[in-house]
Chain A
């Protein structure tokens, strides 16, 4: 197995203690940082798909992301500028009134591993704070709003509509969370919806490259 293939396999398997060493070995053998990174992005894609189909679970996804992060640390000093986040910046948060963050964090990890820079606003985020974050950060291409409570669905709507009415451009809005349906996403005016973290990353990429 080539070193790159090994990196890929170990990220998928969540070998947090091995990936950094393997990435270094791959570099030493002459592999390019960009290619190693792409291999890790691909393995997170596989992880996301397996999560979507129920083949793996939250812990497996968390340790795969952690393994990838260890590899990225080794690559960072070698990567020109921000090429590790070539898809732009994603502002993410759980909407006002809602404190759940497990799903949002998984989505954030997957979107990050797909190639976005993440600005995580945390939980209980008022609509205006999403707008401010779009203004305050460079190259925001995506805003991701998560909501887990049926009672905060109106807050989700408000977040999307405030963003859309802000006059700011250059970004798409994606929504999701257990009570959110594709129909609801359309109704509130979001550009995209995803049912889980794996497909959120796929959708995110699709939205900003369209």
Chain B
């Protein structure tokens, strides 16, 4: 039997995997990295490390950036430098100990030591100034948006250096949601203009420093961005929703990029979930997407589900499909 790592490589290379890669199994996420994101707990409001206020009201599913006049970070994009100050990434060496120990405990023959990076460049722009302002600024203030994104890239590179120096990750799991369910936020042309080079820099830097695998999360439609993903150096697109017609993407781009998802969280992961729906969806995904360049996975951006039991039940259904199809 192949190790998880070998099985993933066979799947990505178009070789001979001996089973489906099961969701996030190949990544061992090191979540004790000391450069943490400041986030509110339920009922709390917190200003994060960049100065963005997040609020998580009682009874809500998660936190949200607060964008009223008083709280919005970038009040006018022409003067973004007055508002945006990158946080420091320097931490005392002893703070790194738990993360280094966690990384050392991983059998790298079996799993990829993985560092988690979020939010992404695009997400930061809308956290800073709300979605509408960010999206119109790409048209009305392109120079300022380029400058802002370059500034975020510089920050990401200093952050990357800390991760590499301390953890020597094999894999980076990087979030940046580029669309909704049926469309990307930006046109492919605009996406190329603003995000291709910045991500080439970031992912290129990781690759030049020992990172073998770039997994990018965007749980959305983004089929039209796949050529850019490939050019950026993304090895696996996690979060691919069924609206992308994943089997067609696999046919077209398999071998250059691997698709992880095709199990829409919205359809499977809800309060009244049940194992029949999961089994049916997993069977559909595995049978239509096939054994190569595909990893069946919930579209959620971490190896968890919103409702207890869903992630585990999905994994069990994938194992059953492996028995049946391999």
Contact = CB atoms under 8 A, between A and B. Distances in A.
Interface in B9-61: 57, 59-61
Q: Secondary structure at chain A's binding surface: helix, strand, loop or mixed?
A: loop
Given A59-B186, A178-B180, A179-B266, A151 B271 contact: yes
Nearest 9 interchain pairs by C-beta? A59-B135, A178-B181, A99-B64, A150-B270, A57-B187, A150-B266, A102-B131, A62-B136, A63-B139
Nearest to B133: A62
A59 B57 CA distance: 29
Which of A62, A99, A178, A196 has most chain B Cβ within 10 Å? A99
Contacts of A178: 180-182, 266
Interface string B128-147: 00011001101110000000
Interface in B284-326: 306
Nearest to A195: B182
B96 interface: no
25 contacts: A16-B140, A57-B183, A57-B185, A57-B186, A57-B190, A58-B185, A59-B138, A60-B139, A62-B135, A97-B59, A97-B61, A99-B60, A102-B131, A103-B180, A105-B132, A124-B57, A149-B61, A151-B270, A151-B271, A151-B306, A178-B180, A178-B181, A178-B182, A178-B266, A179-B266
A176 B280 CA distance: 26
A103 B131 CA distance: 11
Q: Secondary structure at chain B's binding surface: helix, strand, loop or mixed?
A: loop
Contacts of B242: none
Contacts of A66: 136
Interface residues of A, number: 24
Interface residues of B, number: 26
B140 A63 contact: yes
B184 interface: yes
A79 interface: no
Nearest to B187: A57
A48 interface: no
Interface in A49-70: 54, 56-60, 62-63, 66
Given A99-B60, A124-B57, A149-B61, A54 B183 contact: yes
A179 B243 CA distance: 12
A103 B182 CA distance: 12
Contact of A57 (B181, B184, B266, B269): B184
A197 to B, nearest CB: 11
Contacts of A63: 136, 139-140
A28 to B, nearest CB: 27
Contacts of A105: 132
Nearest to A57: B187
A179 B266 CA distance: 7
A63 B136 CA distance: 6
Given A58-B185, A58-B186, 14 more contacts: A14-B139, A54-B182, A59-B135, A60-B139, A62-B136, A66-B136, A97-B60, A102-B180, A124-B57, A124-B60, A150-B266, A150-B269, A151-B271, A178-B266
A16 B61 CA distance: 37
A179 B184 CA distance: 17
Nearest to A154: B271
Interface in A98-119: 99, 102-103, 105
